Amino acid sequence: MTERTMTLAAVEQLCLRALTAAGASEDNAAAVARSTMLAERDGIRSHGLLYVPIYADHVRCGKVDGKARPAVSQPRPGAVVVDAATGFAHPAIDAGWDRFIAAARRNGVAAMTVFNSYNCGVVGHHAERIAEAGLLGLCTTHAPASIAPPGGRLPVIGTNPFALGAPDGAGGAALVLDQSASVVAKSEILLRSREGRPIEPGWAIDEHGADTLDPAAALKGSMLPAGGHKGFGVGLLVEILASCLAGAVLSKDASPFSGTAGGPPRTGQCFIAFDPRAFSTGFSHQVASLVAAIANQGDVRLPGSGRQAARRRNEREGVRVDAGLVDRIETLCR
């Protein structure tokens, strides 16, 4: 694979041009482009430029309405509801964001759900954004089914990631925990498939229930939950919040995030924000003490520290990207 170096601004502009060329509105494309840039900035290639050709295809085929206008309502003081109107998740989340944050500050806690939605990118970035507002954030998003229950073969839930963002009391995040119900993100298997590399043992089973190292067979079969039944339980927790509570379709009924078949996925998200000041006077001190107890143990890595290191490096040096992928995206722009 031949690589080239791009600035983060160039990554964002490339995505913006590709999506507007595909038919997305400027505002919708800008929200997705920023999310793509943030993924590349933090070294999360599986959620970065790799997804841009898929996004563009989905706008063109109507799986995503690139010109959707999200509708925001607030049925209760602490409840913000956003209908993404089968458009991208990112502008839908942005549409309800200010009302959501204001409700959390006013009430001490608030939730925002999004339905008729789509892939929301790196869920940890939304949790970090809540933390930067001085709030404690819990973010969940479900996805088309890719995980079967332990002992089964038919996927019922998605990788269903969740993220926790804890504020540091100074306008930043003290800790961002971002993980999925599966051993690894499905986008990582998709990346391996595109690059012709085998997946790792214990990541997935094929459609017959047998262990596999073939990413193509894994995409036809089932990903494995992290920690067996415990990981599946985490996925169910996310499913209840991001699908059932949000009023989105169940993972088992959602069309895939890859490929053009099936129409809009109509998935959902659920974000919850707590104002620590409404509950405790010592929150920031307690979080700082907890983080120090983890970080001060030699080679122990704090969750998210790898992303932070990649962020500092890529902000300074630019990001290394697949030149062939960039050429494909440039073709989409034309």
Q: In this structure, how many other beta carbons lie within 10 angstroms of the beta carbon of residue 24?
A: 29
| DSSP codes, 154-198 | S--B----EEEEEE-SSSSEEEEEEE-SBSS-HHHHHHHHHHT-P
Task: Kindly report the backbone phi and psi dihedral angles of residue 229, in degrees, each rounded to the nearest multiple of 5, phi listed first.
Answer: -65, -25
Q: What is the DSSP letter of 304?
A: T
Token code pair at residue 32: 């997705």
Q: Rounded to whole angstroms, what are the CA distances from 306 to 3, 167, 310?
A: 21, 19, 6
Question: Of 46, 243, 251, 284, which one is the catalytic site residue?
Answer: 46
* Residues 89 and 121: beta-carbon distance below 8 Å: yes
Token code pair at residue 282: 């010592």
| DSSP codes, 307-330 | HHHHHHHHHHH-EEEEHHHHHHHH
Task: Report the alpha-carbon distance of residue 29 to residue 26 in Å, rounded.
Answer: 5
Task: Kindly report the backbone phi and psi dihedral angles of residue 143, in degrees, each rounded to the nearest multiple of 5, phi listed first.
Answer: -150, 165
Question: Of 188, 193, 239, 284, which one is the catalytic site residue?
Answer: 188
- 46 in active site: yes
Burial of 105 (0-12, 13-18, 19+ CB in 10 A): middle
Burial of 157 (0-12, 13-18, 19+ CB in 10 A): buried
Q: Which helix (H) or strand (E) holds 201?
A: none
Question: Of 40, 47, 126, 222, which one is the catalytic site residue?
Answer: 47
Task: Report the alpha-carbon distance of residue 256 to residue 12 in Å, rounded.
Answer: 25
Task: Report the alpha-carbon distance of residue 113 to residue 47 in Å, rounded.
Answer: 22
**Which residues are part of the catalytic machinery?**
46-47, 188
